[in-house]
Amino acid sequence: MEQNFTKQEYQKYVQSKSPNSPILKNIVMAFLIGGAICTVGQGISNFFKARGLSMEQVAGATSITMIFIGAFLTGLNIYDAIAKHAGAGTIVPITGFANSIVSPAMEFKSEGYVLGVGAKMFVIAGPVLVYGTTASIIFGLIYFFMKS
Amino acid sequence: MSAAKKIGTQTIQFQFPPSIISTASIVGKKEGEGPLKNYFDYVLDDLHWGEKTWEKAESKMLKEAISKAIEKANKNVNEIDYIFAGDLLNQCIGATFGIRDLGIPFFGLFGACSTMSLSLSIAAMVIDGGYADYAVAATSSHFCSAERQFRFPLEYGGQRPPTSQWTVTGAGAVVLSSQGTGPYITHVTVGKIVDLGIKDVNNMGAAMAPAAVDTIYTHFNDTGFIPDDYDLIITGDLAKVGKEIAEDMLKDKNIDISNKYTDCGIKIFESEVQDTHAGGSGCGCSAVVLAGYLYKEMLKGNLNKILFVATGALMSPTSSQQGESIPAIAHAVTIQRTLG
């Protein structure tokens, strides 16, 4: 075949031929569903506050409850069905973090509890943990030296 | 001495065209709800098919498809000279574990999603060469085993871009024989690896289209055929985006196949309703479309001569993570209902 396209030309051409993601629809859905998850979180937070927990306890209890809900819905094969429409709306909240840990744990159970569940559980969330923790240490240090 | 059966640069013209004497196809639930549902031999209700793992389910599909095809040919397993098979899983475990109990001499092949035309080509060459009377060409893919190897866990909440494709759950097997009343395999154009630098694994159609174009173009050059010689030209799994690109690129080379051309990945799903985005993909996609739809339409006489061009993307998760582009390949097989 005579090469009609250079690689650059072909990539440009492919881009023009490939349909884009429906960005506006995705943003609206992410806003609505992500917002709904946050509203549920706020409701849970209010509930714990009303039960007389301290602010620190409320934050912890709310996170734990939301993580449970995310994990539970993942186990019921529901979370991914919502996420298909919500995109970032289900990835960003803490429920998405739970989903990213529970889903590989479920998937790789077939390779056993050590090399499957144990090893693969953090395959998606691992990088978030590594760089999230690193970033918080760096910013913590900057904060520490700025204060002192 | 020149190769007597080779014509042009990449094409084989068989001296004793092998005949397809039977086929079998097994598909998953989603494929069994698609437009081709009536053409398949068996539709799974449960993607695990009673097995513990997706990989075992895939192996079982392949084994059952092969056994079924042999049974439909009224042959015994011990009459089959060779199996040519492969799949998408690492080290082709779908094929090897599937057929380990069959006791048939085996050639393992890897051609990614081009495996159906690859296995068909080699099986046909072996029969034409007089090395076998009966050979099976088969391949499989499983949505769930492919997802976990190439993408994300099934329950992970991610979004697929519109260019992404849906791996077909399915296994197809074809029994070829030196004796038979057709359809016959008359020509094979063996593809070269073509890589135009696409790195997006969510746009495999675009990565593979240039390989399909290269092979189809070479096929017409080598054989002297024109698109009108064919009732149908069908690629493996370019799906919507890739099909359009392939059509355009061939038009640029003054080959207009648009009124003869479709793609297995487009035929197998009703993408709008079934939410498969650009269409189907995977080894099983072209395999079940050939073993189900195309073969049966040929037997009915609705198709007389087709060009079957399964397309494969030859990357791995490792190569993609290392930032490599996607090399692709396509092999074209001419299947004709009658000779002459």
pLDDT digits (tens, 9 = 90+) for B247-268: 999 999 999 999 999 999 999 9
User: Percent of chain B beyond pLDDT 70?
Assistant: 100
Domain count, chain A: 1
Is A98 part of a structural domain of the chain?
Answer: yes
**Amino acid at the residue B247:** E
* pLDDT tens by residue, B31-57: 999 999 999 999 999 999 999 999 999
Is A16 part of a structural domain of the chain?
Answer: no
B1: confidence class by pLDDT, cuts 50, 70, 90 = low
Residue of A14, A33, A102, A115 to mutate, testing the B interface (most B Cβ within 10 Å of its Cβ): A14
| pTM given for the model | 0.94
Is A7 part of a structural domain of the chain?
Answer: no
DSSP states along B145-212: HHHHHHS--TT------TT-EEE--EEEEEEEESS-SS-EEEEEEPPPPB------TT-HHHHHHHHH
What average pLDDT does the structure give for chain B?
96
Averaged pLDDT, A18-26: 93
Is A3 part of a structural domain of the chain?
Answer: no
Strand, helix or coil at A51?
A: coil
> What's the Cα-to-Cα distance from B138 to each of B152, B168, B176, B294, rounded to whole Å?
27, 15, 11, 15
Chain B residues whose C-beta is within 8 A of a chain A C-beta are 52-55, 148, 152-163, 194, 196-198, 203, 206, 210, 213-214, 217-218, 241, 244-245, 248-249, 252-253, 325
All domains in chain B, ordered by first residue:
18-177 (3.40.47.40), 184-336 (3.40.47.40)
Chain A residue numbers with beta carbons less than 8 Å from the beta carbon of B161 are 21
B202: confidence class by pLDDT, cuts 50, 70, 90 = very high
A3: confidence class by pLDDT, cuts 50, 70, 90 = low
- Beta-carbon-side half-sphere exposure of residue B235 (alpha carbons within 13 Å): 37
Averaged pLDDT, B324-329: 97
* pLDDT tens by residue, A24-77: 999 999 999 999 999 999 999 999 999 999 999 999 999 999 999 999 999 999
Averaged pLDDT, B182-197: 97
> Does residue B224 have a pLDDT over 80?
yes
The pLDDT value given to residue A139 = 97
The pLDDT value given to residue B340 = 72
Q: Do the beta carbons of residue B32 and residue B43 sit within 8 Å? A: yes
* pLDDT tens by residue, A129-145: 999 999 999 999 999 99
Strand, helix or coil at B32?
A: helix
Do strands B170-177 and B19-27 pair parallel, antiparallel, or not at all (unpaired)?
antiparallel
Quote the domain boundaries for residue A123: 21-147
Residue of A3, A17, A115 to mutate, testing the B interface (most B Cβ within 10 Å of its Cβ): A17
Distance (Å, rounded) from C-alpha B62 to C-alpha B120? 15
> Does residue A2 have a pLDDT over 60?
no
Is A10 part of a structural domain of the chain?
Answer: no
Is A13 part of a structural domain of the chain?
Answer: no
> Can you tell me the ipTM of this complex?
0.90
Is A73 part of a structural domain of the chain?
Answer: yes
The pLDDT value given to residue A83 = 96
A1: confidence class by pLDDT, cuts 50, 70, 90 = very low
Distance (Å, rounded) from C-alpha B40 to C-alpha B50? 20
> Does residue B182 have a pLDDT over 90?
no
